[in-house]
Structure 1
Amino acid sequence: MPLDISVALCTRNGARFLPAQVQSICTQDRLPREIVLSDDGSSDDSVALVRQTMAACGVASSIALTVFENRTPLGVTRNFEQAVRACRHELIALCDHDDVWHPGRLARMAGVFEARPELLLLHTDARLVDEELRSLGSTLFQALEVQPAELEAIARGDAFDVLLRRNLVTGATTLFRRTLLKAALPFSEEWVHDEWLGAIAAAIGRMDVLPEPLIDYRQHGRNQIGARRPTLADKLRKATDTRGGKHQQRLRRAQALLERLESLPGPVPEARLQAQRGKVAHQRFRAELPASRLARLLPVLREAARGRYDRFGRGKQAIAQDLLERG
């Protein structure tokens, strides 16, 4: 039986790009039942453009539109939370204002959910394009340096183990089952909404990925969250940067997820709870490393020998960061 789809569209001064995005939604092979538009304090005519584009596409009577206009901006995560709370249908697609969906996107993704009742969240690759929708010659997964082993692990049901090391879920490519919100709401203050939804889905059930680009992911100077493949110089700069507060922030994120999982009324697999407790311990270890590089050497080598950098982080890359960062 076909599942109805809601689109959670969040905007902020997106007038330049919105018509193309809304048109791509309204000309899908399989139309959504509704668009929930949450505008975060735009000073342009973003909201009016959504209405005009829907009318021009001839779908104003077939796709319901709900509009929120925030006079005081909520920020990206809270704006998306407001939008998804108002979505009424079984599947929810997250939608930024500056991308373009490929024509068969919703049909392709919804079909996977209909074939797999246990699936909670599905995300995909994306084609990277510039402001004028010209291809940049790479995809989102290439920019993130996604490895075949990571995709294979997600496909066999081990997504939580992959996300323990790093996030791969980009909201603009994501469709999820509305029942996921029972565990995910309210979104954590420490997390971005898409990372949070992915982590919760992987922890309590099944999350999967389609390694095919189903949207054009526009890259421009005003992206709130974008994608770019790091160069060797970028990686060296990151490894030798000041430690600052990022390790404390990662610890707070890990603790927030553990607290949510432990508070859920439904059973969370014990192996995943134990894994998240290990993640918290590893992040605490990294946050508490001494300022002196020399004093970090033995503790980091011991932690690496226990396999915790590979289990809970980016392996050699994280080891190098902890040894080289300036205190």
Structure 2
Amino acid sequence: MTEAVPIPSTAAPAWPAASVAQADVSVALCTRNGARYLPAQVASICTQDLLPREIVLSDDDSSDDSVAVVERTLAEHGLATRIPLTVMRNRPPLGVTRNFEQAIRACRGELIALCDQDDVWHAGRLRRMVAEFERRPELLLLHSDARLVDGELKPLGQTLLQALETRPGELADIAAGRAFAALMHRNLVTGATTMLRRTLLDTALPISPLWVHDEWLATVGAAIGRIDLLAEPLMDYRQHGNNQIGAQRMTLRQKIDKALGERGDKYAHRVRRSEALLAFLQGLGPRVAGETLAMAQGKLEHFRFRAGLPRWRPARVLPVALQAARGRYARFDRGLPAILQDLMERG
């Protein structure tokens, strides 16, 4: 397989002198055929009351003028020289996770804001998040809620956390510094809402090829330090049908269809992911607490259990009931929905 190699486009400009209106923040912007949505996203960055120090754009083999749109929008707001733009072009494309990893590696700021091409930041978003990092030097990663909107930015009547059906206990764990325990249930971190401290990269890179970038960065951050959530919408998160990774609350019909679907090899894949995470954390030695390693081991054992369930559904009832009684579905999964899925899925 041919490995994508970034084609140099714009050399990294000189780092500009700081000003009262700029923070030591790099924006890692990834694009692929996003010309339709990029003017609104880049404009929302340009109109922040606290500007970033640079934008690093990694374009994944766009066939439209995505890069030119970014350059033009910066110029229209008079920021072409004030916010340096570094551009990398990938041919062939790297894919979403490797594209973001490339952009993140090229960032020079102390803080790095991940940025999708099709969203819109609310006014004051950067200032709100930067203030949290300044107040809490131990914080490695911060994410937020977002307002869900359609392709034309019309509100869909719910937020990201509502669409994820986030439970009070999960929010309480994150607020109390137990984010790793919350992430052992499921991922709650959406990259587009995320800002991270660059020191996290010293440990978290390279990203495991079995993981998505945001989930990996958050899980590693929670394992070695503190990550947190701002439960307030700080951006509009477009849901337009072509999202590479989107978020919408499933209807009852969709939940039933999912519960009755084919098991396939998804649990075997989750076992491999969990094995990769556990091995990675074990390799960090004393930086990872024993309790954290025990949770990662428990998650792996739970997925091995799910992957090994018999094909004949009646034979699953007793082992699933025992696993539930031990609290495994509550600690390492989504509780009742996962129990029902294990009882009802075909194959």
TM-score category (smaller protein) = over 0.9
Give the letter for the 2:237 counterpart. Answer: Y
Select the residue among 22, 30, 39 that pairs with 1:19: 39
Q: Which one is further off, 76-85 or 252-261? A: 252-261
Q: What pairs with 1:1-327 in structure 2 (closer than 5 Å)?
A: 4-264=24-284, 267-327=287-347
Q: Give, in angstroms, the shift of residue 150 of structure 1.
A: 1.4
Instruction: Decide whether the 8 Å contact of 2:23 with 2:51 is kept in 1.
Output: no
* Count of aligned positions: 327
Q: What residue ranges of structure 1 are gaps of 5+ in the alignment?
A: none
Deviations 1:44-101 (A, max 9, x none): 0000111111111111111111100011000000000000000011100000000000
- Alpha-carbon deviations, 1:142-186, whole Å to 9, x = none? 110112221121011011111000010000000010011111101
Distance 2:315 2:32 in 1: 46
- 1:3 touches 1:90 (CA, 8 Å); kept in 2? no
Find the aligned partners of 1:288 and 1:265 in 2 and give their Cα distance.
Answer: 30
CA separation in 2, counterparts of 1:169 and 1:96?
A: 14
2-structure distance, mates of 1:305, 1:138: 34
What secondary structure sits across from 2:145 in the alignment?
strand
Once residues 220 and 260 of structure 1 are traced to their aligned partners in structure 2, the CA distance between those partners, rounded to angstroms, is 36
- Structure 2 counterpart of 1:312, which letter? F
Check whether the contact 1:93–1:176 (CA below 8 A) recurs between aligned residues.
yes
Residue identity opposite 1:177 in structure 2 = R
Residues 3 and 114, structure 1, Cα contact 8 Å, conserved in 2: no
Contact 1:126 1:217 in 2 (8 A): yes
The alpha carbon displacement at 1:250 in A equals 1.0
Identity %: 66
1:3–1:256 CA distance, 2 compared to 1 (3 A): farther
RMSD over aligned Cα atoms = 1.2
Structure 1 counterpart SS, 2:133: helix
| Structure 1 runs of 4+ with >2 Å offset | none
CA–CA distance in structure 2, aligned partners of residues 183 and 278 of structure 1: 23
Distance change >3 Å, CA 196–CA 106, structure 1 → 2: same
* C-alpha distance in structure 1 between counterparts of 2:280 and 2:308, whole Å: 24
Distance 2:335 2:343 in 1: 13
State the SS of the aligned residue for 2:287: coil
1:254 counterpart letter in structure 2: S
Contact 1:261 1:268 in 2 (8 A): yes
C-alpha change, 1:311 and 1:16, in structure 2 (3 Å) is: same
SS of 1:60's partner is: coil
Structure 2: gaps (5+ residues): 1-19
Matched residues in 2 for 1:143 and 1:91: separation? Answer: 28
The separation in 1 between residues aligned to 2:75 and 2:195, in whole angstroms, is: 25
**Other structure's SS at 1:250 match:** helix
Counterpart amino acid of residue 71 in structure 1: R
SS of 2:80's equivalent?
coil
Q: In structure 2, the residue corresponding to 1:70 is in which secondary structure?
A: strand
* Distance change >3 Å, CA 265–CA 64, structure 1 → 2: farther
| Cα offset, 1:235, TM superposition | 1.0
Scaled by the length of structure 1, what TM-score is found? 0.98
**Could you say which residue in structure 1 is the equivalent of 2:13?**
none
